[in-house]
Amino acid sequence: TFRCVTCTAPVNIAVIKYWGKRDEKLILPTNSSLSVTLGQDELRAKTSVAVSKDYTQDRMWLNGKEQSVNTPRIQNVLKETRKRLSDSQNETELLQNVHIVSENNFPTAAGLASSAAGYACLVYSLSQLYGVKGEISDIARLLLSCRQGSGSACRSIYGGFVAWNMGELEDGSDSYAVQVAPEAHWPEMRTLILVVNDQKKDVGSTEGMQTTIETSDLMKHRVTIMDRRMEAMTEAIKKRDFPTFGKLTMQDSNQLHAVCLDTYPPIFYMTDVSRQVIRLVHAINDIYEEVKVAYTFDAGPNACLYLLEEDVPRVLSLVQHFFPPSQDKGEKFVTGLSVPEVPVCSKDVSKISLQQNPGAIKYIIHTKVGPGPQVLTDP
């Protein structure tokens, strides 16, 4: 026997950030978080999983290269998923070895939450393979398996706007993601990802957040305000109130990076380019006299901008004016959803002063809010 399923899963970028674990083994967070699921035409993981009685061991290939399955996180995900699905069907297949082939349609380690999409995709594909039918009745159990691969992965199981409630129980069974609103709720929402650097990052988020928990006093303050922040963000999304959504997004990103600076030794994820992007965004909002665009940064220098569809052409023209594409490559500078090109407004430009030579943005990915994982082939 041989069976194979292929699924895709999206990237999610948090607007209220997860940073810190109260239990490292079970991957339980010190605060709740909230993210936006992005469009899969632009950013997704794709995973095929196959079972056969002829496979002599579990094996895995990532972007064409064989990787060890003997990492604690992969083992956890395989073990937990099999355990949680064990009542769903077919005992013999659950005992067979699995081959996993996974690839991203964007550079790995770009600081673009590739591991979240990857783990979510693996768990989702396994759930389809082992025959969890139709609407996954106990999706919470799958979310728990995702979370054991990488905390933020549990938010990639849903489309739209997704909260990961931290939960209170020691065994982590109440720490999982819920959809706050589907993608159709706010269809005008757009994202521009300004890729500054697609090299592997310095300090991984797992290690970074652990050091923060051990050493940062500011972090103690952060955890006390997060419930309120989650409530305010949820309300802003429900009301489609962009200025509030944007301001909270920027404040939360800034506090995450302040907490990183308060970590000892300090952790720097943003670069000069990141800080210039922050200045540019605030200057644009000053011109509009309203928050029209918001930035957020994860554990890396890339900026993720949130804004509404109608503002994309003007904002993009300004970003490209201040961060012109380098001439030497034939590659497209802006990829993803197409945008009507508008000439940059010289009046806007004259009101913005940035430092000279801030450094380059490599390319820009334009996408929108998207759905959760998809099955490409039936079992």
Give me the residues that bind ligand DP6 (CB under 6 A), please: 14, 17-19, 27, 33, 115-116, 150-152, 205-206, 298-299
Q: What's the rounded Cα separation, in Å, for the pair 18 and 345? A: 38
Tokens for 29?
């967070």
Helix (H, G, I), strand (E, B) or coil at 163: strand
Least spacing, CB of residue 316 vs ligand DP6, in Å? 24
Instruction: Name the residue nearer to ligand DP6 (CB basis): 5 or 181.
Output: 181
Residue closer to ligand DP6 by CB (options 5, 304) is 304
Residue 40 CB, shortest distance to ligand DP6, in Å, is 18
> Of the two residues 8 and 76, which places its CB atom closer to ligand DP6 in the complex?
76
Question: CB of residue 299 vs ligand DP6: minimum separation in angstroms?
Answer: 5
Provide the phi-psi class of 363: left if phi over 0, else alpha when psi is between -120 and 50, else beta: beta
Q: How far is the CB of 298 from ligand DP6 (least distance, A)?
A: 4
Minimum gap (Å) between residue 174 Cβ and ligand DP6: 17
How is residue 25 written in tokens?
């083994």
How many residues are recorded in the chain? 379
Nearest-approach distance from CB 331 to ligand DP6, in angstroms: 26
Contacts of 186 (CB under 8 A, 6+ apart): 161, 237, 240, 369
Q: Which residues contact 163 (CB under 8 A, 6 or more apart)?
A: 32, 33, 34, 155, 177, 178, 180, 230, 234
Which DSSP letter does residue 58 get?
-
Tell me whether residue 90 or residue 210 sits nearer to ligand DP6 (CB atom).
210
Contact (CB, 8 A) for 131 and 90: yes
| Cα 114 to Cα 106: distance, rounded to the nearest angstrom | 8
50 vs 163 by CB, closer to ligand DP6: 163
User: Starting at the edge strand that comes first in sequence, how are the strands of the sheet with 59-62 ordered?
Assistant: 65-67, 59-62, 97-104, 44-52, 2-10, 374-375
* Choice between 270 and 284, CB closer to ligand DP6: 270
* Residue whose CB is less far from ligand DP6, 33 or 125: 33
* Residue among 5 and 13 whose Cβ is closer to ligand DP6: 13
CA-to-CA distance for 92 and 313, rounded, in angstroms? 55
What is the nearest approach in angstroms of ligand DP6 to the Cβ of residue 53? 33
Min. distance of Cβ 27 from ligand DP6 in angstroms?
5
Residue 30: closest CA among 299, 297, 226: 226
